[in-house]
Amino acid sequence: MSKIAATFSALKAHNKTALITFITAGDPSPELTVPLMHALVAGGADILELGVPFSDPMAEGPVIQRACERALANGVGIHDVFGYVAEFRKTNQTTPVVLMGYANPIERIGAATFIAQSKAVGADGAIVVDYPPEECEEFAAAMRAAELDLIFLLAPTSTEARIAQVAKVGGGFSYYVSLKGVTGAGNIDTVEVAERLTAIRRHVQLPIGVGFGIRDGATARAVAEVADAVVIGSRVIQEIESAGKDGAVAAVQTFVSGIRAALDA
């Protein structure tokens, strides 16, 4: 059982919803990445998504775009991201870490190197936004062989064929994008989300996390009624932006603690 699967299993045994949080590595500064990761866990996050900075993050709204721009301006690349995970693992061996990003940085270093490095530093999986499941069965198999989960996105527009393909090659959990748009946009229709998750579960046996548009405890709680996990990214980064470098770590922990409390209420 992978670390991600074990986390979901343990939470289900206690009737709890997983809280998955996202930050971009290197934002607002390289030296704050690992402290922010620890703050997310201290606040109650169960799984961490660590964004690999990329210059053209096509699925991201303005908030995460700005985070990528700041990280790239700080000179942070994929090898630095591996280093942050290794540093985090020195004092936390249990919280799953998922690397989230785009194909280009992986293609530049090579899929085999990406998988080997991810495994070596203690990452547990990856979300590659622009790797369609139909075209990366070989990559997914290599990830599985290294005991890493390859996690795929599903959207309101996903066809039955796409859902079935994700069920075939995906691991860890499936990430349902609740909105037609980019991260941080719009308001979630939880009734529509519930209907779509019912359809997805006809094919997908993995836990399902819901993200894009979850901004507060009330929304997180509503989504938790129908999903196995809630995913929050843009709102966390807004806390970092508002607090600035000096206050970012404390602000993130406080915000995530509020979401965790709402989920557990």
| Active-site residue set | 49, 60
- With residue 262 as reference, give the H or E element that holds it: helix 234-264
Q: Which two tokens stand for residue 144?
A: 């599985």
CB 18 within 8 A of CB 228: yes
Other CB atoms within 10 A of residue 217 CB = 16
Between CA 69 and CA 106 the distance in angstroms is 19
Between CA 201 and CA 203 the distance in angstroms is 5
CB 190 within 8 A of CB 225: yes
Strand partners, 208: 174
CB 82 within 8 A of CB 52: no
Establish whether the linkage from the previous residue to 132 is cis, with ω within 30° of 0: no
Residues 6+ apart with CB under 8 A from 212: 177, 178, 179, 181, 182, 183, 184, 185, 186, 188, 231
Q: Which two tokens stand for residue 57?
A: 């993050």
CB 123 within 8 A of CB 150: no
